[in-house]
């Protein structure tokens, strides 16, 4: 079942209307999970950081021992062609993806040179300006590189995220604040996380257990350009309970304010609002 509507699919060299089947039952990706994807956004005629997202899906493919079959330049051109079918006021989620087709050594290792490629475009609205979420803890943790392909945006990582979200929802919260194997905060189940205390912005230091996102890096650059101190640090649940503001950073919604972490409540503060304004001011300065 699709997440959005008004779907277009690029597959086997051309664009198709609708949610087109792309994978066979015997594809390595179907039965052994060698799938990667990335996500970008089309909003108000703009596609912020599209090239960076296309670069990353190729790196993710390599992390799962697949050889990317589409260059970044070609991928950008394909996506732009697909987006031309949508009105500029339609918010579209852009999802390029690879999966392994054939098996290699002992059937477990994928054949690096035989890969499938597709792009899925779905009309998914941006969150309302006043939208926010709440956080709680979860017993599930982020894996390490020795356990899982945490250096890729890989489909096989997401069942663990689903467990986190299901647990948070069962407790009456919108998302989960997730630890790494050492018990330090890594991110949430769906996005990178920031907290603000006494005017300084903190975010978990990348330690190989989560993807330090493209949008996360963009927010950090904007804040530092405005003279705001941004510190990548080892953070605990207690640090977040002592924060003045908390917000999430992800491609799907860019900035999501957090209004509660368990029993701790927050206001949507000035830095959270500033981050959102700076992001969209920058995006408006970029051309499609």
Tell me which CATH code domain 133-285 carries: 3.20.10.10
Burial class (CB in 10 A: 0-12, 13-18, 19+), 288: exposed
Q: The domain 5-123 is classified under which CATH number: 3.20.20.60, 3.50.50.60, 3.30.470.10, 3.30.950.10? A: 3.30.470.10
Cβ atoms 205, 212 nearer than 8 A: no
Domain chopping of the chain, boundaries: 5-123, 133-285
Say what the pLDDT of residue 287 is: 53
- Rounded distance between C-alpha atoms, residue 84 and residue 34, angstroms: 30
Q: 192-197 and 245-250 as β-strands: parallel, antiparallel, unpaired?
A: antiparallel
Confidence at residue 288, expressed as pLDDT on a 0 to 100 scale: 41
The tens-digit pLDDT sequence of the chain (288 residues) is 577 789 999 999 999 999 999 999 999 999 999 999 999 999 999 999 999 999 999 999 999 999 999 999 999 999 999 999 999 999 999 999 999 999 999 999 999 999 999 999 999 999 998 899 999 999 999 999 999 999 999 999 999 999 999 999 999 999 999 999 999 999 999 999 999 999 999 999 999 999 999 999 999 999 999 999 999 999 999 999 999 999 999 999 999 999 999 999 999 999 999 999 999 999 998 754
Choose among 14, 8, 56: nearest CA to 215.
Answer: 56
pLDDT at residue number 18? 96
User: Beta partners for 249?
Assistant: 192, 255
Domains 5-123 and 133-285 share a fold: no
């Amino acid at each position: 079942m699709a997440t959005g509507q008004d779907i277009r699919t690029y597959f086997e060299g051309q664009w198709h209307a609708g949610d087109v089947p792309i994978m066979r039952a015997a594809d390595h990706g179907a039965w052994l999970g060698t799938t990667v994807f990335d996500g970008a956004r089309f909003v108000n005629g703009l596609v912020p950081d599209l090239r960076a997202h296309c670069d990353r899906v190729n790196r993710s493919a390599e992390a799962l021992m697949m050889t990317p079959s589409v260059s970044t330049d070609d991928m950008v051109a394909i996506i732009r062609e697909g987006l031309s079918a949508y009105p500029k006021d339609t918010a579209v989620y852009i999802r390029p993806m690879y999966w392994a087709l054939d098996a290699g050594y002992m059937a477990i290792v994928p054949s690096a040179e035989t890969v499938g490629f597709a792009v899925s475009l779905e009309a998914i609205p941006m969150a309302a300006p006043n939208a926010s979420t709440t956080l709680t803890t979860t017993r599930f943790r982020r894996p390490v590189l020795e356990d899982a392909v945490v250096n890729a945006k890989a489909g096989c990582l997401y069942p663990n995220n689903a467990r986190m979200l299901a647990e948070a929802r069962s407790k009456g919260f919108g998302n989960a604040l997730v630890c790494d194997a050492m018990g330090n905060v890594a991110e949430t189940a769906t996005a990178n996380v920031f907290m603000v205390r006494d005017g300084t912005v903190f975010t978990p230091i990348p330690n190989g257990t989560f993807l330090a996102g493209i949008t996360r890096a963009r927010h950090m650059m904007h804040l530092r350009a405005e003279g705001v101190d941004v510190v990548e640090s080892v953070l605990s649940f207690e640090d977040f309970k002592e924060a003045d503001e908390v917000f999430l950073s992800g491609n799907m919604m860019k900035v999501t304010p957090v209004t509660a972490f368990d029993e701790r409540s927050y206001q949507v503060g000035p830095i959270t609002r500033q981050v959102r304004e700076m992001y969209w001011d920058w995006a408006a300065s970029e051309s499609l």
